[in-house]
Structure 1
Amino acid sequence: MTADEPLPACDPSLGGIEAVSAAVLAMSRHLEVREVLRRITASARQLLDAEYAALGVPDDHGGFAQFVVDGVTDEQWKAIGPLPRQHGVLASMLHRLDPTRLADVRLAPDFGGWPDAHPELKDFLGMPITDDGEVLGAVFLANKLGAKGRTRGFTERDEELLRILAAHAAIALGNARLYERSRELTLADERARIAHDLHDAVSQKLFSLRLTAKAAATLVDRDPARARAELAEVARLAAEAADELRTVVVELRPAALDEDGLAATLASQVQLLDRAHSAAVRFTSRGVRALPSAQEAALLRVAQEALHNALRHAGARHVDVTLAGTAGRGAVLRVVDDGRGFDPDSVRRAGRHLGLVSMRDRASAVGGTLVLESAPGEGTVVELEVPGA
């Protein structure tokens, strides 16, 4: 279900249980915070048959950091103007742990009015979304509708249904925040790894290139032959630095898994690495079906990590990458190199990881099995098997 797909209809006549269940499922299918907020708002509006719904998330200054509406057109929303801040019934609800149910919101003591383009609201129901005493947000409904038009307002039953929905909304919103935080940490780890690679590989070559260029400049007049040799070295170092940069950029760039699929994406990256390095890097694929996105991402990242180790640390002359489908509709990835190899136990005791922890974490996260075989002088084999859908 995408952001543009309609939400499943919630029929309040079902006694509440099925309607709440449909609403909870609708808002729990997504992990991005903004989309979860939108789903909560639309689900609440449908569940209680309200004309308008909104959801506000507090900032650090008593106002709204985010504000999502449902039942208002884009043109109306633009005409209304800036978000409500530190006044009115809506903003005051960010400091309450109890619901607010009003027959006419315009008669409330803290009613602050609204802009000319704002729709006319009357009956009102507001419910805080809380987690352990903390207000994560507040959902607001206005203008209760019935089969024959406007009813006399929201009922105690409506309030109880919204209370149940808000409890589930707190869980969905909390999970979405954890997901986004996890994604931010993953990106930070990727940036740190790329920075480390740039320092280890590219920066050192650029430093050598600069020294060699200076040496060539001092030799131009008194020893042209040596100067030419130094300039040839400059050209070689510049080419190697460009290759290293290209490799780092490939590892940083998000893979086009959605557009090209895993096999095509891996084939493209292996082809580029084969051109960028003196080692022969080859890729073969057979019987691979489309996999869930998390499995494909794990396979790609483990392949990148294994290739990185083989080409940067192991001094491999040949690297073979194979991807094969399994009878259980999953896939097996194998990266085999003829590099210098290592003793996994010694590496672990020395506190060096060579990305092994990252590979194991990625495998575990998708229910996969990672096997690593290596010994000094005997190359390395990395194998990851993941289940299918």
Structure 2
Amino acid sequence: MTLFLANKHILLGVTGSIAAYKSAELVRRLREAGAIVRVAMTENAKRFITPLTMQAVSGYPVHDDLFDVHAEAAMGHIELARWADLILVAPATADFMTRLAHGHADDLLTTLCLATKAPLAVAPAMNQGMWKHALTQTNRQVLLDKGVHIIGPGEGNQACGDVGPGRMTEPAEIVEKVNAIFSSGLLAGLKIIVTAGPTHEAIDPVRFMTNGSSGKMGYALAEAASEAGADVTLVSGPVNIPKPSHLEKLDVVTAQEMYETVMRKVAEYDIFLAVAAVSDYRCETIAPQKIHKEEGPVQLTLTRNPDIVASVGQLARKPFIVGFAAETEDVIAQAKAKRLRKKMDMIIANQVGSGAGMGADENAVTLISAENEISLPLMPKRKLARQLIKLIAEAFNKAERRQ
């Protein structure tokens, strides 16, 4: 099983059930799968397992108070709701399911569930009679109809002595189900090549020209494409981001190396995501020794680097091309012209600077094609990547049907 939980932000909610003892094991398994886990506990949950235990296994302070002034100064409930890529409630009692189904927000955990735009998943845990009751089953259906993922419950011996359905699903199986939530299958069977990061163009043996790209957007899109079922190859310039364990990664340094790598492989792929901030120019001559400081100006003669996207656009059998336009002015007009000039199917335009875009953790973009112009608001790049992949998959499938 390919795990898609690396660097995912999982907010684990723990409610007042004897099964809360399993929550510590669940945190451990989620972290082993690469997730970053924070914990929110109800008052009754703390009767079964201590916040200190959950802090120790998660590595973060536990959130348990809707009106915690100190938490509001750091990561309050609204910020915590935005932080999460998924809210998982395990165990989820019958009472919690009832309150969530009816939209209550009378404690921290229910407030987080209502405030977030992230997926919700609950792992019920209760007496078998409570689980079978018609009202519980009605609430279960309400949650399913609202898009909440229900994990379990399992069957077997219960703490009260009864036997039947209502046991919280075991942590290992919950991790598998959570992993599946992040795997959409939208791009199943397709091959995608993604460029990411900057390029470095040498001036002398110790200096180079580059730009402020961190590679975060390209890596996020590569991860999101993999989650959607694609076979992904990442062509990366120099970045400080760990290699995704389940992706093929090809390291390059210069624009020429990136060009040669892409052109050698791109014919094998269905979609080309050109996210890298490739240097437009390089030094015509690289000084063989370090250039020392002297009086007066130093002149560098620059020459054009090959245009990777335009070159791919000229191929007789070109893939579906999605490019980026990071602009400082006339963003939409510049992006539209660039898309047509380089024969892209879609282009993603964003204004650089002001804490968004290149080098930042968040971005706001406009996705432009021949048919549509879709604006997506400022959000973390991981979440933005998943929305973009969904839109790209829809556009690719439409283009395939037209052929």
Query: Which has the greater radius of gyration?
Result: 1
TM > 0.5: no
TM-score by length of 2: 0.23
More helix by share: 1
More strand by share: 2
